[in-house]
């Protein structure tokens, strides 16, 4: 039997198209009201929320379930619709252990729904699909916080049929994307078939069902992935580099393995030499609260995986979003630094030979783009994190082949001097915040050029 205390909290990423209800769903799970405090209800930053198992069991309403699950809780990460989930990378994979894909049952699939599925498929991440906003189905009579089966029974047969029709449109789309899916209570084997849970994040209907499926997936996941623990030197990923009043540059990180302590020496990826620094303060949001909305952070002396934490330390300015952060000792500092550096170099491409140029906002999104273009056998001359600079524009303009005199920009800005230059040049710029759209647009462009 595994020691329960060393099990780390599984990381659950909530994904899906803008406005389909990711934050509202999390909000319901947390039982707080973060959405109402959000400007325009649009999530601006990535945050993490730890929900202890007791809170989850409480929502399920059956205390006997307590002994069935080993997980200490779930760490939910709310990725804004416009932000690449891929920021959350870890060496060789995605950081999320599990995921929830939220799709508005009335609107159906949208670009970021497809994108989420592609990423999950690539990283083989187990997930559950939430068919949200069932309360908007014509004639629906809401039954606050009820499990799906109970509320479904209370609906008229017309309404039931309407839900089934919409639900099977979602299931059909999943099938087109290569997933066998079914309404979750009709699934017999969750290893083979994706569960789709009809939910209203608004009224809470179906929420207990989502939690139940998630705990089941988490349990299975833990049985297969016990290599991560709460012990040992800390390893994490940088979500964001943020300026904080009085603290200077800080890092929001997700620690996915081991322990991180105040005073620890850490190595963090940057565009140049990795940053080596000492943790001055660890700032943790309280349980059931959000990193983004906690103005007064709580100082802690250590955190254990998995956790979202803010780090204050000298010299964090050049840190890269999506890059690794690792605890080192005096003895292995240089070794760890060179590992971090090679991990970043693996993603960046700077060959100077033939090919397109790719610029992205984080290391994770860059990696995903490089992967997609390489899959299509598109040569890449340069791929790096950062906005499109004047230098990039000039470099791209020196390429004669129109197929490669191209800059692909994912979630990046074009510097004003670069913009002026590009307007006068024949460089083709593709910019979007949807990865597969960039790939498609480029393919279309290549076709046009070849005709």
| Nearest approach, Cβ of residue 35 and Mg ion (Å) | 8
Nearest to 172 by CA among 98, 103, 84: 103
Q: Is residue 390 marked as binding?
A: no
Q: Does 333 bind ligand GTP (CB under 6 A)?
A: no
Q: Is residue 269 marked as binding?
A: no
Q: How far apart are the first and last CA of the chain?
A: 64
Q: Does 173 bind ligand GTP (CB under 6 A)?
A: no
| Nearest approach, Cβ of residue 102 and ligand GTP (Å) | 6
List the x/- string, 64-83, binding to ligand GTP by CB under 6 A. Answer: ----------------xx--
Q: Does 141 bind ligand GTP (CB under 6 A)?
A: no
Q: Scanning residues 269 to 288, which ones bind ligand GTP (CB under 6 A)?
A: none
Q: Does 133 bind ligand GTP (CB under 6 A)?
A: yes
Q: Is residue 415 marked as binding?
A: no
What distance in Å separates the CA atoms of residue 48 and residue 308, rounded to the nearest whole number? 6
**271: Cβ contacts below 8 Å, ≥ 6 apart:** 318, 320, 384, 385, 386
> Choosing among Mg ion, ligand GTP, none, which partner's interface includes residue 121 (Cβ < 5 to 8 Å by kind)?
none
Q: Which stretch binds ligand GTP (CB under 6 A): 15-23, 65-73, 291-299, 427-435?
A: 15-23
Residues contacting Mg ion: total by CB under 5 A:
3
Residue nearest to ligand GTP (CB): 81
CA-CA-CA-CA torsion for 122, 125, 127, 129, nearest 10 degrees? -10
Long-range CB pairs of 165-174 (<8 Å, 24+ gap) are 166/105, 166/106, 166/108, 166/131, 166/137, 167/105, 167/131, 167/196, 167/198, 169/108, 170/103, 170/105, 170/108, 170/109, 170/129, 170/131, 170/196, 171/196, 173/108, 173/109, 174/117, 174/129
> Choosing among Mg ion, ligand GTP, none, which partner's interface includes residue 387 (Cβ < 5 to 8 Å by kind)?
none
Q: Does 23 bind ligand GTP (CB under 6 A)?
A: yes
What distance in Å separates the CA atoms of residue 228 and residue 211, rounded to the nearest whole number? 22
What distance in Å separates the CA atoms of residue 122 and residue 101, rounded to the nearest whole number? 15
CA-CA-CA-CA torsion for 92, 98, 104, 107, nearest 10 degrees? 30
- Burial (CB < 10 A; 0-12, 13-18, 19+), residue 448, is exposed
Long-range CB pairs of 341-347 (<8 Å, 24+ gap) are 341/269, 341/273, 341/274, 343/91, 343/269, 344/269, 344/274, 344/320, 347/383
Q: Is residue 138 marked as binding?
A: no
> Choosing among ligand GTP, Mg ion, none, which partner's interface includes residue 133 (Cβ < 5 to 8 Å by kind)?
ligand GTP
Q: Does 43 bind ligand GTP (CB under 6 A)?
A: yes
Residues contacting ligand GTP: total by CB under 6 A:
21
Which of 20, 89, 326, 428: binder of ligand GTP (CB under 6 A)?
A: 20
> Choosing among ligand GTP, Mg ion, none, which partner's interface includes residue 226 (Cβ < 5 to 8 Å by kind)?
none
Which of 50, 135, 209, 367: binder of ligand GTP (CB under 6 A)?
A: 135
Structure-token match 């608004």, residue found: 202
Q: Scanning residues 16 to 45, which ones bind Mg ion (CB under 5 A)?
A: 22-23, 43
What distance in Å separates the CA atoms of residue 117 and residue 124, rounded to the nearest whole number? 10
| Nearest approach, Cβ of residue 100 and Mg ion (Å) | 12
Q: Scanning residues 194 to 213, which ones bind ligand GTP (CB under 6 A)?
A: 200-202
Interacting residues toward Mg ion by CB under 5 A: 22-23, 43
Interacting residues toward ligand GTP by CB under 6 A: 16, 18-24, 35, 41-43, 80-81, 132-133, 135-136, 200-202
Which residues participate in the annotated binding site?
16-23, 78-82, 132-135
Which residues participate in the annotated binding site for GTP?
16-23, 78-82, 132-135
């Amino acid at each position: 039997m595994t020691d329960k205390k060393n099990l780390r909290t599984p990381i659950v990423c909530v994904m899906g198209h803008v406005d389909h209800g990711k934050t509202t769903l999390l909000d319901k799970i947390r039982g707080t009201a973060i959405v109402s405090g959000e400007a325009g209800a649009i999530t601006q930053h990535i945050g993490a929320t730890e929900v202890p198992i007791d809170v989850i069991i409480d929502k399920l309403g059956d205390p006997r379930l307590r002994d069935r699950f080993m997980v200490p809780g779930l760490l939910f990460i709310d990725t804004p619709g416009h932000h690449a989930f891929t920021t959350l990378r870890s060496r060789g994979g995605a950081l999320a252990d599990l995921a929830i894909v939220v799709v508005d049952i009335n609107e159906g699939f949208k670009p970021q729904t497809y994108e989420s599925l592609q990423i999950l498929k690539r990283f083989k991440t187990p997930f559950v699909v939430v068919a949200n906003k069932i309360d908007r189905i014509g004639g629906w009579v809401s039954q606050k916080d009820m499990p799906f089966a109970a509320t479904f029974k209370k609906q008229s047969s017309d309404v039931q049929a309407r839900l089934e029709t919409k639900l099977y449109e979602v299931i059909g789309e999943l099938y087109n994307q290569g997933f066998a899916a079914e309404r979750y209570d009709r699934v017999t084997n969750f290893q083979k078939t994706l569960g789709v849970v009809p939910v209203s994040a608004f009224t809470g209907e179906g929420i207990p069902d989502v939690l139940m499926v998630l705990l089941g997936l988490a349990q299975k996941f833990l049985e297969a992935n016990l290599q991560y623990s709460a012990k040992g030197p800390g390893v994490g990923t940088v979500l964001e580099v943020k300026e904080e009043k009085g603290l200077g540059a800080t890092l929001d990180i997700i620690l996915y393995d081991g322990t991180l302590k105040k005073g620890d020496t850490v190595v963090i990826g940057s565009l140049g030499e990795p940053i080596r620094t000492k943790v001055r303060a660890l700032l943790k949001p309280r349980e059931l609260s959000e990193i983004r909305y906690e103005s007064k952070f709580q100082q802690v002396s250590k955190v254990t995986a998995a956790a979202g934490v803010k780090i204050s330390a000298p010299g964090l300015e050049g840190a890269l979003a999506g890059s690794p952060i690792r605890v080192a000792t005096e003895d292995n500092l240089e070794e760890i630094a060179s590992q971090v550096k090679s991990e970043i170099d693996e993603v960046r491409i700077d060959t100077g030979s033939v090919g397109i140029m790719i610029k992205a906002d984080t290391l994770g999104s860059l990696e995903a783009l490089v992967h997609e273009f390489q899959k299509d056998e598109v040569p890449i001359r340069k791929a790096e994190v950062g906005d499109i600079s004047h230098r990039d524009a000039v470099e791209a303009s020196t390429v004669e082949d129109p197929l490669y005199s191209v800059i692909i920009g994912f979630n990046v800005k074009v510097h004003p001097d670069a913009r002026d230059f590009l307007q006068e040049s024949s460089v083709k710029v593709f910019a979007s915040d949807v990865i597969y759209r960039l790939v498609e647009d480029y393919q279309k462009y290549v076709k046009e050029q070849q005709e």
